[in-house]
Structure 1
Amino acid sequence: MEGNRPKRRKDKYNPYNIYEKDKHYYISFKDGQGALHKLEISRALYDTFDSFELDDLVYLNVVDRHIEQSEVWETTLNVRAIEKPESIEEVVLKKIQIEALHTAMKILPEMQRRRMQLYYFEGMTYEQIAKKEGCTKMPVKRSIEAAVERLKKELKKI
């Protein structure tokens, strides 16, 4: 940017820049189509925009240093958390569902149970399982799909 300009934070909420060049004062901004416009402004208008920027900086510093730290409570931390903590009900329900799944898996034939374990819990692909068992991927795929259907029926009973 040309000329001298006041210090200010750069962010998406500052739609304009003010600066001084050769004892003339300017404002530059982009319009809705993205075209850059530069206009000469009076010293009074420059000072007004400058004071707005200084007021904004003061306010942002107050928020950063005081308000933000005073609101660090458990509820605010939970709101900010990337992964929300699970409620007790969710944890208990998940454990019950996992137990029901393991119980239902016990009724599956050994081969289907092993393939389900490899595919869903160990993250292997059909091809990897087939290679490990010495067959093609289609029998593995059909076996896993049949096991899933059988588990769905069993879990509906519970």
Structure 2
Amino acid sequence: MDKRPKRRKDKYNPYTLCSKKGRYYVYFVDVNNRIQMVEVSKSVFETFNIFELEDISQMNEYDRHLEHSKVDENTLYQKSVSSEQPLEEYFDKAQNAENLHMAISKLPEVQKRRLKKYYFEEKTFDEIAFEEGCTY
């Protein structure tokens, strides 16, 4: 193959351009999922090639814009919501979480199971009572 345009392969570019021995072709997959090859004139080939190069340029520009806007938006968001927590608060929360886990581990299995259903499975007291065969 002599010349193949540089292009992005994706669902929006369902064809491939190539030239072979001075002849120009467009390859694509038809509705029956078979690869078709169509010979086109040099002017059609060059027109497709120009469109593809313009598309690549626009897609690259869009991607660069998107990257910068994401970074900027993310940075701004992080700055607006990040509030450094004092070490005392962090350790208090960690200690409370540890105490909670220790307290839960000391519960009987029935209570652990019901606690799990209520807080993690988001079941109501009535649903838990029905499942457990007990009263509310």
Give the TM interval when normalised to the shorter protein: 0.5 to 0.7
CA RMSD of the aligned region, Å? 3.3
Change (3 A) 1:66 1:112: closer
SS state of the match for residue 38, structure 2?
strand
What residue number does 1:113 align with?
111
What residue number does 1:15 align with?
14
CA contact (8 A) 1:112 1:144 kept: no
**Cα separation, 1, equivalents of 2:5 and 2:111:** 69
Question: 1:10 Cα deviation (Å)?
Answer: 1.2
Task: Extract unaligned runs of 5+ from structure 2.
Answer: 78-107, 121-128
Q: Does 1:146 align with 2:116?
A: no
Q: Percent identity?
A: 35
Task: Extract unaligned runs of 5+ from structure 1.
Answer: 78-109, 124-141, 151-158
What residue number does 1:48 align with?
47
TM norm structure 2: 0.56
Counting only pairs closer than 5 Å after superposition, residues 94-133 of structure 1 correspond to structure 2 as 112-117=110-115, 120=117
**Cα separation, 1, equivalents of 2:64 and 2:113:** 56
What residue number does 1:63 align with?
62
What residue number does 2:86 align with?
none
TM norm structure 1: 0.49
Question: 1:73 Cα deviation (Å)?
Answer: 2.1
CA contact (8 A) 1:4 1:21 kept: yes
**Cα separation, 1, equivalents of 2:110 and 2:130:** 6
- Say how many residue pairs are matched: 96
CA contact (8 A) 1:26 1:41 kept: yes
**Cα separation, 1, equivalents of 2:109 and 2:130:** 8
